Amino acid sequence: MTKYEEISKDIRDKIHSGIYPPESLLPDQLTLCKTYDCSRMTIKKAFDILAMEGLVYRQRGAGTFVMKNALANKQDASLRDYEGLTKMMGKEHISSQVIEFTIGFPNAKVQEQLLIKKDEPVYSIVRLRLLDEKPYVLEHTFMPLNVVTGLNETILHGSIYDYLKQELGLVMSGAFRKINADKPSDYDKLYLNCGEHDPVLEVEQVVYSKDGRPIEYSRSRHRYDTRSFIMLDHHEP
């Protein structure tokens, strides 16, 4: 762990434990240089991290303060959607039923999202994921074979993401996501067990590896009463 990570961790802990309460003024950078025996650039970089996390804000000429809402949204910004459902919920709660598993050429929409040509093959996977034995989400996933190889039914019954990370060494860097509400389709009613007029929450997403290559394009349809999306948005001035 680097020096600025250690310092930011120390200050973060002091904020969370109440030593630096919300709205309070933090020590100035020169003082902290002496406290942590380092240069001012290092202190500034530690504060950069805390500012990105929405814990502190800085005002030129005035000082560095703890945000009023520093303790408000401390819930799991650590668990991320693109890590896969299995990791989010814990693998003992998730099971998967494979409805379709084929290889073929991509249609125009899939080509565009995965940044591939029409003759580059893709996996097409439809899975029903169950949370504690109850239908949770119906996923249709496309993965390009130029990145993802060696999939089989055994993997599909567990976590694809574990396989991508551990066997293929793929690292995710982010995702593009679009969220909609929709009326239930016949598939939704059959597999998600929703009523005739139950709304469905649809998530369309493209997940990217660290070099920006698309790893998956998927559409996930959730029962309206079992899923909500949380976003924490923060930006500097």
Partner DNA sequence: AAGTGGTCTAGACCACACC
Partner DNA sequence: GTGTGGTCTAGACCACTTA
Q: Give the binding site for DNA (CB under 7 A).
A: 2-4, 26, 28-31, 37-42, 44-45, 47, 58-64
When binding is defined by CB under 8 A, the residue of 131, 165, 198, 219 that contacts its own copies is: 198
Q: Rule CB under 8 A: say whether 171 interacts with its own copies.
A: yes
Q: Rule CB under 8 A: say whether 232 interacts with its own copies.
A: yes
Q: Name 79's bridge partners.
A: none
CB atoms within 10 A of CB 101: 14
Distance CA 176, CA 113 (A): 10
In the shown chain, the binding pattern of residues 26 to 55 toward its own copies, with x for contact by CB under 8 A and - for none, equals ----------------------------x-
Q: How far is the CB of 181 from its own copies (least distance, A)?
A: 4
Q: Rule CB under 8 A: say whether 23 interacts with its own copies.
A: yes
Number of residues located near its own copies, criterion CB under 8 A: 52
Rounded to 5 degrees, φ, ψ at 176 are: -105, 130
CB 201 within 8 A of CB 224: yes
Q: How far is CA 209 from CA 81, 139, 184, in A?
A: 14, 20, 32
Answer with the entry of its own copies, DNA, none that 72 interacts with (C-beta below 5 to 8 A by kind). Answer: its own copies
SS3 label, residue 69: coil
CB atoms within 10 A of CB 120: 14
Q: Rule CB under 8 A: say whether 84 interacts with its own copies.
A: no
- Strand pairing report for 200-209 and 172-182: antiparallel
Interacting residues toward its own copies by CB under 8 A = 22-23, 54, 57, 65-70, 72-73, 80-82, 115, 171, 173-183, 196-201, 208, 210-214, 222, 224, 228-237
